[in-house]
Amino acid sequence: MVKRTLVLGLVMFFLCSLCLRAEAKVIKLSYANFPPASTFPCVQMERFKQEVEKRTNGQVIIQTYPGGTLLGAKNMFRGVIAGQADIGCLVMSYQPGVFPLTTVCELPLGFKSAKVASMVLWETFQKYNPKEFARVKVLTVFTSAPSNLMSKKPIKSLKDLKGVPIRAAGAAGKIVEILGGAPIALPMSETPEAIQKGVAKGLLTSFEVLKDLNFAAYLPYGTITNFQVYPFAVVMNKDKWNSLPERIKKVFNELGKEQALWTGRYMDNHIQEALGYAKKKYGFKLFTLPQQDMDVAQEKLKILIDNWKKRAKAKGLPAEKILQDVYKFKAKYEQMGY
Ligand code: DTR
């Protein structure tokens, strides 16, 4: 009897220590990102790393790979699905047709801040849990700040945009085309070269790149348009996610919405810093598109919303309801002063 109890006790002790050791084992995760370390997608990545390591008391260690050193902009999604990286940051606008639902947020819907747009994207994702991300675990989503024009020559009206080669991806490229410009669809990681070589005479994106990628040195003029934002997602390999202890999954799930807000807030604040830098160091001049031109532009760009609805319906999505919800979420966060 005593022997049997001792053996049972030893077995139990052995099993428990196995579990504890498994539980306590340090989990190393790789996080791939495509643009240079100075840019906001990588700044949010480093904040995410610090928060995860802090909240798991160092049981999870995240090794970050900025600048496309592990995976690039165009193969990020496939690479994470294939396990080439455990975590990756992607822009849905870079892969037309792959993200039919969440690209609703790249449409010209009048977003005035990254904070509002990021929370709208988060709520839309939570409500619809899009199939387009079924093969991965989405850790968070956020957006860039509203896109404006930056150019070698002043663009003070839609007439000035005619025929100008402007770098812009996804819906932003369509906007440039519809308004008479010549869109050049490149991910941000390939844009510095296009600007320096003069292939692109301007770009349509958020103003922080004036500082983070020093575009103010090549593009001394800006035009406020707030045409649209670019939606981002941070995704984890599904098998890696399923292998994590529940306590660790809880930390990631609790961080998701917070990270979306943190990145939106960082982005909106950083835009002002970048404009200050561009004006002080390069005499950057900022114009605002005349209201009459903005009205003409908004009218012309409605086609993009109709086209998105057609594509979404073709994929079996409740397009009208999704768009209604996006406008409802947008109004809610704007009223909350986000
Ligand atoms: N606007 C998208 C997204 C974007 C804005 N700023 C950055 C910086 C680094 C990477 C992407 C972005 C774009 O222009 O590609």
Radius of gyration of the chain (CA): 23
Other Cβ atoms within 10 Å of 55 Cβ, number? 16
The three-class DSSP label of residue 90 is strand
Answer yes or no: is the C-beta of 205 below 6 A from any ligand 1 atom. yes
> In the structure encoding, which two tokens stand for residue 328, read together?
């409802």
The three-class DSSP label of residue 33 is coil
Most ligand 1 atoms within 8 A of CB, residue of 33, 74, 188 to mutate:
188
The three-class DSSP label of residue 148 is strand
pLDDT number for residue 320: 98
Answer yes or no: is the C-beta of 231 below 6 A from any ligand 1 atom. no
Q: From the CA of 42, give the closest atom in ligand 1.
A: 9
pLDDT number for residue 24: 66
Instruction: List the pLDDT tens digit at each of the 338 positions of the chain.
Output: 899 999 988 888 877 776 666 556 899 999 999 999 999 999 999 999 999 999 999 999 999 999 999 999 999 999 999 999 999 999 999 999 999 999 999 999 999 999 999 999 999 999 999 999 999 999 999 999 999 999 999 999 999 999 999 999 889 999 999 999 999 998 888 888 899 999 999 999 999 999 999 999 999 999 999 999 999 999 999 999 999 999 999 999 999 999 999 999 999 999 999 999 999 999 999 999 999 999 999 999 999 999 999 999 999 999 999 999 999 999 999 999 99
Answer yes or no: is the C-beta of 103 below 6 A from any ligand 1 atom. no
Most ligand 1 atoms within 8 A of CB, residue of 95, 176, 205 to mutate:
205
Q: How far is the CA of 59 from the centre of ligand 1 (A)?
A: 32
Most ligand 1 atoms within 8 A of CB, residue of 90, 118, 144 to mutate:
144
pLDDT number for residue 20: 65
> In the structure encoding, which two tokens stand for residue 216, read together?
């103010």
pLDDT number for residue 315: 96
The three-class DSSP label of residue 48 is helix
Q: How far is the CA of 116 from the centre of ligand 1 (A)?
A: 17
Q: How far is the CA of 120 from the centre of ligand 1 (A)?
A: 18
pLDDT number for residue 195: 92
Residue nearest to atom 4 of ligand 1 (CA): 144
Residue nearest to atom 13 of ligand 1 (CA): 188
Q: Which candidate, 139, 105, 137, 161, places its Cα nearest to that of 308?
A: 105
Answer yes or no: is the C-beta of 143 below 6 A from any ligand 1 atom. no
pLDDT number for residue 19: 66
Report d(CA 193, CA 197) in Å as an integer: 6
Q: From the CA of 36, give the closest atom in ligand 1.
A: 9
Q: How far is the CA of 46 from the centre of ligand 1 (A)?
A: 17
- Which DSSP string corresponds to 280-336? HHH--EEEE--HHHHHHHHHHHHHHHHHHHHHHHHTT--HHHHHHHHHHHHHHHHHT
Answer yes or no: is the C-beta of 91 below 6 A from any ligand 1 atom. yes
Surface-to-core class of residue 27, CB atoms within 10 Å of its CB (0-12 exposed, 13-18 middle, 19+ buried): middle
Answer yes or no: is the C-beta of 229 below 6 A from any ligand 1 atom. no
> Model-level pTM?
0.93
Within 56-105, where are the H helices?
Answer: 76-81
> Would you give the end-to-end CA distance of the chain in angstroms?
69
Q: How far is the CA of 17 from the centre of ligand 1 (A)?
A: 47
Give me the count of residues in the chain. 338
Q: From the CA of 213, give the closest atom in ligand 1.
A: 8
> In the structure encoding, which two tokens stand for residue 223, read together?
């035009």
Answer yes or no: is the C-beta of 76 below 6 A from any ligand 1 atom. no
Residue nearest to atom 1 of ligand 1 (CA): 205
Answer yes or no: is the C-beta of 39 below 6 A from any ligand 1 atom. yes
